[in-house]
Chains A and B, each alone.
Chain A
Amino acid sequence: MEEKKSNGMSRRDTIKALATLPVLGYFGYAYNANLLKIEEAKAQNYLERLKIDKIEVSEEKLSPPTGNSGNRIRFGVVGNGWRGEQLLKSLGYVHPDYVEDSSENGIPDKGMQKFLDQEDLNVEFAAVCDTFEVHTRRGVEISANDLRPFGKKRDPKPAKVFSSYKEMIASDDIDAIIIATADHTHAQIAIEAAKAGKHIYLEKPMTHSIEEAVELRKVIKDTGVVFQLGHQNRQQMSFKIANELYEKGVFGDVSMVQVYTNRNTVFGAWIRDDAFDHKLGNKDNINWEEFLGNVPLCEFDRKKYFSWQRYSEFGTSITGNDLSHQFECMNQVLKLGIPETVVALGGQYYYKHHGDMPDVFNAVFNYPERGLTMTYDGNLKNDAYRPSRILGSAGTVDVDRAILMYKDNHTDRYKDIILDPSDPFYYYAPDDDVDAISSATSQVYMKGGYGPTTIDGKTVEATLLHLKEWVDAIRGQGKPSCDVDAGFEEAVTFNLANLAYEHKKVVTWDKVNEKAIIG
C-alpha cells in the first residue's frame, strides 16, 4: 500500500501530477535548438530581409481633386463602344440602363455605390462621334443622364453628335478628346487632334504601325498637348512597387522576362460579330467609310466591322491586343525600352475563317545591352492563367496585381537569410475586396492588374486614376505616366513582333533611323 504523506499525497500522486512537465522542458529545448533560428528569419522585418530602407511608393497619397468651377474640361468621345463606356464611367457618366440594372428599389448595388462614391473629375461629356448609330445614340443618352458621383446633378446637356471625328476636332465645343476606336484609326485621329490643340487620351495600343508611332510622337512633342496612352497598369500599386524593388536591386540582375496571355473563348478570340449589341448593326446604321479611315475603300462587311481586331488592316493582332499590356507592365517595372532584335513564330490554326489573326504565337525579344531576353507566349485555345515572371539573379518574381518573390538559392545578396526555399521571400497583395467576377476574360483583367488598385488605404479603379492623372495634367498638375515616349516603346515593340511573324524573319530595330530592318 502507498504511504500517504501528511498532505494526503502519495509519491505516486506527485509523479502523476508532474508527469507531463518534462514535455515543457523538451519544448524549450527544441525551440531553442532549431526553431528559434527559423522563426527569427520569419520574424525579421521584410525590409531588412530585402535589404532596403523602405518602399517609397507604398506611402503614396491620392492627389487632391484639381477641379473647380473655373476649370471644367469639355471632352469628346470618338468610339463609344464597350471600352468607351468604361472610360465614361470613370469620368462620371453612366447610361440610364446601368443605373436601373444596378439598383433595387432605389438602393444602389456595390458597383453603383462605388460609382457614386468615386471622385468627380469636374469634366463635361460635350461631344460624341461613333460610326455605329446605336453607339452614338447611347453616348447621347449617357451624357443626358443627370446622375453623377456624389449625386451631383449638373445641367444634363446632351452631348453634341458629330458624324465625323474631323468635325469634332475642328469644333470649339471640346478641349480634349478620348479616342477608343479601332486600332487602325488611332494615329490619324490623334495626330489631327493634336494639331488642333486638343489634349488626348488614346486607348491602347498606340498605333497600327511603326511609321505612325514615329509621326504621332513627333506631333505630340511639337504641339505640346497633354497625351496619355490608356495603359492603366501605370496606376497599379503592384507594378509601382515591383519597379522600386527592381531599381533598388532586390531582384539582382534580370536575365529573363516571361510574359503570357491565354484565352479560350470565341469572345476572347475577338470574334464579336454578335457580341454586345452588335446584332443591331447593319449597312444602314454603320458609317463604313468613316470606319475605314485610311484603309482603301471596300465593300461593307459586318464581320470585319465588329470583329476588326482579327483583320490586320484594322487590328494589331494578338500582340497589339494582349502582348501590348504585358509588355507595358514589364516596361513599367524594368524600363525595358525597345528590343534590338525580335523573332516570332506561330500560326492561325483554329479560327481559320475569321480574318488573319494568329491564335498560337510565340515571340522572343532580345535586349543585348540589358543582358536579357523577353519571351511572349500567346494562345487562343487554352485559358491557363500565368502572371508575368521576372528571372533575377537574386530571385524569381511573379508580378500581376500581386507580387510573389522567391529568393534564388545561390544568390549572395540573401545568403544570410535562413528560409525554406519553398516559402515566399516577399509577398504583396492589394488589401481590398474585389467583387466576385464571373467571366474568364474579366477575371484575367482583374488579376492582371487592370482593374482596381490600392493606394493610400483606398481601393480605386486604375482606369479612373489614369484618367485623373491626364485631367490633372491638363490643369497643369503633374504629368501623364504613360506618355508618348512610353507609348512609342509599346507600339514599336509589338509591331516588330508582328513584322517578324508576317515575314518569318528576324527583325532588327534600327534605333538611329527608327526603322525596322527585316531579315
Chain B
Amino acid sequence: MRKHNQYSEYSNWQVSALVILRVLIGWHFLYEGVVKVLNPHWSAAGFLNASQGPFANLFKGMASNSGVLEVINFCNQWGLVLIGLSLIVGLLSRWASIGGMVLLFLYYVSNPPFIGIEASAVAEGSYLIVNKNLIELFSLLVLYLFPTGSIIGLNRLFASRK
C-alpha cells in the first residue's frame, strides 16, 4: 500500500473527481447486485448461454452444470453488492476495484465485441472492441492506482489511527 501522506499530492479537484467516479461505479455495481439478489428468478444462465466468441463453450459449460451455476449466481450477485458498497463508502475499495475488474473482465470475454461476432441479445448495443464493460474495467484500474478511501471514505478511520 502507498503511504497515505502521498495522498495529499492530489489537489482538491482531483480528489473530488476520483471520489465521484468511485461512488458512481459503486452505485452501478450495487444496483446491479441488489436487483439480482431481490429477484428470486434471476440466474446467470441466460447470460452465459448467450456467450459468444473464443470462450463461448467454457461459459456455456458453466451454465449447463447446475452446481457450478449456483456458485456463479451467488458469487456474482453478492460480489456486485459488496463491491458496490465498498466503493461507495470507501472501505477496502482497492480490493473492491480488483474484484470489480475480475467480474467485468468475465462479462467482457463472455460476449466480446470483436470483429465478426454478431451483437448478442445480452449486449446493450453494438461496439467495436471497446464497450462499456471495458471502459468501466479500466476506470476501476484508475481507482485502484489512485485510491481515495483513506481521504474520503471509511478507510480514513483506520488510516488515521496509525
* Alpha-carbon distance between A143 and B136 when the two chains are bound, in angstroms: 59
- Point out the residue from B35, B89, B121, B162 that lies within 8 Å of A20, measured CB to CB: B89
**B133 → chain A closest CB, angstroms:** 21
Give the B interface residue count (CB, 8 A): 32
With A23-B88, A43-B40 as contacts: A13 and B23 at CB distance below 8 Å: no
Is B153 an interface residue when CB atoms closer than 8 A count as contact? yes
A8→B30 contact, CB < 8 A = no
* Alpha-carbon distance between A43 and B42 when the two chains are bound, in angstroms: 7
**DSSP class of A's interface residues: helix, strand, loop or mixed?**
helix
Name the interface size band of chain A.
20 to 34
**Interface of chain B residues 44 through 90 with chain A (CB within 8 A):** 49, 56, 60, 85, 88-90
Is A439 an interface residue when CB atoms closer than 8 A count as contact? no
A16→B35 contact, CB < 8 A = no
A13→B38 contact, CB < 8 A = no
With A20-B88, A27-B31 as contacts: A39 and B39 at CB distance below 8 Å: yes
**Interface of chain A residues 1 through 52 with chain B (CB within 8 A):** 7-9, 13-14, 16-21, 23-24, 27, 31, 35-36, 39, 42-43, 45
**B14 → chain A closest CB, angstroms:** 15
* Alpha-carbon distance between A35 and B151 when the two chains are bound, in angstroms: 32
Q: Which residues of B sit under 8 angstroms from A440, Cβ to Cβ?
A: none
Is B103 an interface residue when CB atoms closer than 8 A count as contact? no
**A219 → chain B closest CB, angstroms:** 47
Is B96 an interface residue when CB atoms closer than 8 A count as contact? no
- Point out the residue from B31, B39, B156 that lies within 8 Å of A17, measured CB to CB: B156
B30→A431 contact, CB < 8 A = no
B153→A13 contact, CB < 8 A = no
B41→A45 contact, CB < 8 A = yes
A20→B152 contact, CB < 8 A = yes
Q: Which residues of B sit under 8 angstroms from A429, Cβ to Cβ?
A: 121
* Alpha-carbon distance between A42 and B152 when the two chains are bound, in angstroms: 36
**A150 → chain B closest CB, angstroms:** 23
* Alpha-carbon distance between A39 and B151 when the two chains are bound, in angstroms: 35
Q: Which residues of A sit under 8 angstroms from B85, Cβ to Cβ?
A: 24
Chain B residue at smallest Cβ distance from A9: B160
Q: Which residues of B sit under 8 angstroms from A43, Cβ to Cβ?
A: 38-42
- Which of A14, A36, A43, A45 has the largest number of chain B CB atoms within 10 A? A43
* Alpha-carbon distance between A8 and B156 when the two chains are bound, in angstroms: 11
Top 10 A-B pairs, shortest CB-CB distance: A43-B39, A17-B156, A17-B157, A19-B152, A9-B160, A13-B160, A23-B88, A16-B152, A39-B35, A23-B23
Chain A positions near chain B (C-beta within 8 angstroms): 7-9, 13-14, 16-21, 23-24, 27, 31, 35-36, 39, 42-43, 45, 429, 431, 433
Chain B positions near chain A (C-beta within 8 angstroms): 19, 22-23, 26-27, 30-31, 34-35, 38-42, 49, 56, 60, 85, 88-90, 121, 151-157, 160-162
